[in-house]
């Protein structure tokens, strides 16, 4: 570990309470905002998983070791569905259920409702994706991303103060 990383760890330990409070507040506020846009907290969670999936696909296009950190983490679970995902990069209802801990049938019903509402769509190659033409995505990509970036800067400041 580099000297700089130790410095960051020391700063985090020193400022842990303030940092953790901000982090939790950020997550709660962020999830509440997504839930309002998505219609329900369950749909918000599904959308977050789908966005995670899409960001991995984008990140993979710029790396020599595709999905390497995700592959390492998913390998720890030993779940067949997750291993299939790594091979295909296709997000399924089963994977969302595994990742969120919510019942398959709940995810299936909510995904269907989200498709009918135009929030998400199916891709032959990648499985479930956010509908980039939807008002939902436009608000997420605009308002929410700006909020998240500001909050992450505040979080970093909390650690480094």
What is the model's pLDDT at position 96?
A: 93
Is 4 contained in some domain? no
What is the model's pLDDT at position 89?
A: 74
Exposure letters 77-104 (e unless 16+ CB within 10 A, then b): eeeebbeebeeeeebbbbbbbbbeeeee
What is the model's pLDDT at position 46?
A: 97
d(CA 121, CA 150): 29
What is the model's pLDDT at position 35?
A: 96
What is the model's pLDDT at position 66?
A: 47
pTM of the model: 0.77
Which range marks the domain in which residue 30 is found?
12-160
Is 152 contained in some domain? yes
Q: How many domains does the chain have?
A: 1
Residues of the chain predicted below pLDDT 70? 1-6, 60-88
What is the model's pLDDT at position 29?
A: 93
Is 83 contained in some domain? yes
Is 2 contained in some domain? no
d(CA 123, CA 114): 14
d(CA 137, CA 70): 24
What is the model's pLDDT at position 130?
A: 93
């Amino acid at each position: 570990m580099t000297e700089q990383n130790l410095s960051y760890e020391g700063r985090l330990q020193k400022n842990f309470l303030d940092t953790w409070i901000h982090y939790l507040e950020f997550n709660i506020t962020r999830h509440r905002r997504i839930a309002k846009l998505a219609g329900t907290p369950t749909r918000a969670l599904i959308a977050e998983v789908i966005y995670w999936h899409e960001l991995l696909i984008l990140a993979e296009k710029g790396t020599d070791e595709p999905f390497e950190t995700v592959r390492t983490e998913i390998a720890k679970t030993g779940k067949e569905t997750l291993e299939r995902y790594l091979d295909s990069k296709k997000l399924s209802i089963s994977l969302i259920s595994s990742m969120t801990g919510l019942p398959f049938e709940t995810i299936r019903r909510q995904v269907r409702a989200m498709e009918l509402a135009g929030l998400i769509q199916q891709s032959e190659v990648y499985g479930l994706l956010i509908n980039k033409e939807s008002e939902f995505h436009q608000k997420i990509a605009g308002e929410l991303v700006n909020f998240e970036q500001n909050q992450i800067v505040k979080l970093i400041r909390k650690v480094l103060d």
